[in-house]
Structure formats: structure tokens, C-alpha cells
A and B are shown apart, each in its own frame.
Chain A
Amino acid sequence: MCGIVGLFLKDRSLEPQLGALLARMLEVMTERGPDSAGFAVYGEGGAGRIKLTLRGEDLAGIAEAIGAGATGVLRDSHLVLSLPVDQEEAARGWLALNRPDVVVIGAGHRIELYKEVGLPADVSTRFGLSGMSGSHGIGHTRMATESAVTTDGAHPFSTGADQCLVHNGSLSNHRSLRRMLEPKGIHFVTDNDSEVAAGYLTWRLREGDSLAEALEASLDDLDGFFTFVVGTENGFAVLRDPISCKPAVMAETDQYVAFGSEYRALVGLPGIENARVFEPEPARVYAWERN
């Protein structure tokens, strides 16, 4: 069992509250996933710059050491490095050479990604989620089934620029999918089945699919139980497997679209009393895009 949440804002005036709203949603899902938690937030992106989210120990000073216009914001065990787009490769090279212990868990114009082992409330406090602003975010509370309780196994998974995925369920053909995707240049860091789903979508998007098309294709190629919530730089999507094995509830108002494994996760949202609350249908892609 796991808990997943997502919040996609239509009303920009709510952006300063994104983190606070998401933190509450995540905490309510503790009963579904007390092992570890993680979240991705789509915040401000600087023109011509890219953000790398690094995870590891002793991260202070990395931005200065890399130089080349890099700046860093340290949050507990994660460092969000901002640097000119043309410096990304050099920075990754520097890290591989000088800090092989550090893992790059997310990259993109706007995405920042945080995950740790521990109770969701503790994880969100450690990273200061409630103070973050952004246009959309997704989160996950994990009760491990297919792989160990480690930070590597925590969600979200990001396998492409500004892309991330959270998953409730388990995939049965993730080994064969991994063998299909690796020769296509999709790189996996963990043994986790959900990372393979993220990699699958990255591959489809790279081949020119829209987010909705990529998810449509996954219905044919993925075998198992899943409810996915997916984020891209400007998009947000939800998909459930054809027998809707895992729970899902959504709420939509003029201000936002919200997703929760259970309705309880949504009760703190503004105007929820008058929101259109509905259960997404199985095998149907729900996608929202913001311009």
C-alpha cells in the first residue's frame, strides 16, 4: 500500500501556498505509507538555467566548487543546484569525478525533488515543504512491497528533464521493460519497479508522444497494478490500471485540480466543500496542461 497526492494549480494566486497545501495532503497519507516519503515541486525556473537536485552528505560548498555561475540551496540532505543550461554537462562531470557519492535525483528547468526515509510529516519538515511555492507538485508516502525501505526506493522517480512519477501499486513486467528500455538509453538508478514506469514514459515522451499519448501507450505495455500521478514542466496527469486496483479520488475547482489516494487527503484544500469530487475511471488518461 502507498499513498499518493498531487496538486495542480490553475489560479496563480495560490502558488505561494502550494507547499503548505501539499504538506498537509502528504501527512494525511501517513497511514498508507509510513516508511518513507517524497515530493516534487515545480517552482520558479530562471531563464537559461537548469536545476539539479542532489542527494547525499556534506553537500555545502558544492555550488562554489563547481563555479561557472552555479548557485545552491541546501535543504537537509538535498542540494538544489541552479546553473546555466550549457554548464549542466560540465557540472555532472565534476560531480562524477569529485563526488561520486552524490546522486542527482532530479533535473529540469523547474522541478525540485526531495525524498527520504521516515514519517511523511518528518520528511516534509526536514525539507521545509510548507514554505515552498510553485505551480504544481506531487507526493508519495511509501509502504514498501517490491524493494527495500531505502531513500533510493522512495518516490517520486524522475528519469527525464522536469518529469516525475509517483506510483501506487506494483508492476509485474518491470524486468522485461527494463531490458527493453536500457538499450534505448534510459538509465535506471534503482531496482524499483516504479522507476521503470517513469523510464517508460520518458522514452515515449522522447519519441514525440504527448504526456497523454505516453500514458495511453503504457496501458498496453505495463502489466500490473498501478495508479500513477505524473508531472511535467507544465503538465499533470493521472492514470489507473484497467481494473482500478488502487484507490484514487480527484477534486477540481476553478482554482486547482487535486489528487489523493483517499478523499481524506483533500479535506484541507480551499473550497473543497464546493469542488467537483470524482473518482477517475480505470484505463482513462486524465491530463491537464498549463500555458
Chain B
Amino acid sequence: MISVDLAISPKRALNQRLHELPTDTAETRWQVLNPQGQHALVAGLDAPIAVDIMGHAGYYCAGMNQQARVTIHGNVGVGVAENMMSGRVHVKGDASQSAGATAHGGLLVIDGDASARCGISMKGVDIVVKGSIGPMSAFMAQAGNLVVLGDAGDALGDSIYETRIFVRGQVKSLGADCIEKALRPEHKATLRALLDAAGVGPEVSVEEFRRYGSGRQLYNFHVDNAAAY
């Protein structure tokens, strides 16, 4: 395992080193010490490596990730795994705002809570939050799955296009055009697979969740509303 201590070496050098790794690299295990809340840690990776960040990270940690498995042993700031394309990002603590924003693929697992706008404009990523999520989560969400074991804040799924949202706890309120939908067998299968992938055992049953999604009423302009403009 390669260990990089950010108390000694600069973050940019670390990121550069990781960016230069070929896809078939043999240097597949990395550990980052003393992250101290620095921003853009291990952003832009594109190699099948595993990186452990040993502490709290700042903004945009593991942003734009492809292929890599990144584990943060602490909290993360705004925009963890934003625009992730593939791979897996696992936050052991809490995540700040806009976790998984605009992400197209991969799996984002947050063991603690995620604050406002979790999964905003998500485009295909799977997000599993073991705690609760803040207000305006899945705002304008377009594709993918958002699973929440705790509660969801105000205006969940406001102006949602598509995306399946599964919430086990309370939803404070639903946003415009986000509605509750039936939890059918195929949804239960998807949900179970996501829980398994996130390391959630059978003690959490899919029967405890409710599903929310798009009412599809905002897709097209209604001429009845013309007078509102």
C-alpha cells in the first residue's frame, strides 16, 4: 500500500500522481493521511484503485470519479462524488450539501447523514444514505436511485424528472411533482441489491421503505398556465 501524508506533501502532487496512473496500474492500494479538510481531494480519478482517506475531507472530494473505490474515514464537505461516472465512494461519517450532485453512475454510500440537496440533479448514480438527508434533496433528479434509511427533509424530489427515491423514515414534505408510488416487486429487488451493495444487512427489510418518484406533470407546458406568465 502506498501512503501519502498530506501534512508533508501537497495535495496537488497527490492528485497529479493519481491522475497519471494507467488503467492497468499495479499501484492499486492508496492511503491518504492528514487530509485536514482540504478541498478536491482525489478528484478526477480514472483507474481501478482503492483509496482510503484517513480523516475529514473538504469540498468536492472524489469528484468526477471513474472506476476508483474511495473511502473517507470521516466527514466530507460540499459536493462529495459530484459528477461521479463510475466506481464507489464511501463516506464513513456525515456528508455536507450536494452529495452526489449531477453524478451519472457508480455508488455513493454515506454511513451518517447528508445535508441539503443530496443527489441534486442526479443522472444515474445510486446513492445510499444510512442516516437522514436534508431539504431539497433529489432536486431535478433525472435518473438513478436514492435510498435513505432515515428521514428526508423538506421538498424531497422537487421538479424531479425521473429517479427512484426510497425512504425508510419520515418525509417532511414532497416537492413539486414528486409523488408516492407503489413499491412493486421489481423495486424491492432493486432496493435489496442496493442495500446489499452498501453493506446493509437483512435486519433492514425492504418492506420498511416507501417509494417516491415523478408525477410527470411538469414534463410539458400546459396551455392552461399561459396566463401565469
Tell me the A residues contacting B by CB distance below 8 Å: 243-244, 247, 249, 262-264, 266-267, 273, 277-279, 281-282
Contacts and interface: CB of A to CB of B under 8 A. Distances in A.
A262 B135 contact: no
A130 B158 CA distance: 47
A278 B94 contact: yes
B191 to A, nearest CB: 27
A267 B75 CA distance: 13
Given A264-B36, A281-B134, A244 B94 contact: no
A286 to B, nearest CB: 14
A218 to B, nearest CB: 19
Nearest to B136: A243
Nearest to A31: B39
B116 A263 contact: no
The dominant DSSP class at the B interface is: loop
Contacts of A279: 94, 96-97, 115
Given A277-B56, A277-B75, A279-B115, A267 B97 contact: no
Interface residues of B, number: 20
Contacts of B77: 247, 249, 262-263
Interface of B: 36-39, 55-56, 58-59, 75, 77-78, 93-94, 96-97, 115-116, 134-136
B57 to A, nearest CB: 8
13 contacts: A243-B135, A243-B136, A244-B135, A247-B77, A262-B37, A262-B58, A262-B59, A263-B56, A263-B75, A263-B77, A267-B37, A277-B93, A277-B94
A37 B38 CA distance: 22
Contacts, number: 46
A179 B39 CA distance: 42
Given A243-B136, A267-B36, A282-B134, 12 more contacts: A244-B97, A244-B116, A247-B78, A249-B96, A262-B37, A263-B58, A264-B39, A266-B37, A277-B75, A281-B115, A281-B134, A282-B135
Contacts of A281: 115, 134
Nearest to A268: B36
Nearest to B59: A262
A243 B116 contact: yes
B58 A264 contact: yes
A273 B75 CA distance: 11
A282 B59 CA distance: 19
A247 B59 CA distance: 10
Contacts of A278: 94
In the A-B complex, the 3 residue pairs with the smallest Cβ-Cβ separation, listed nearest first, are A263-B37, A264-B37, A267-B36
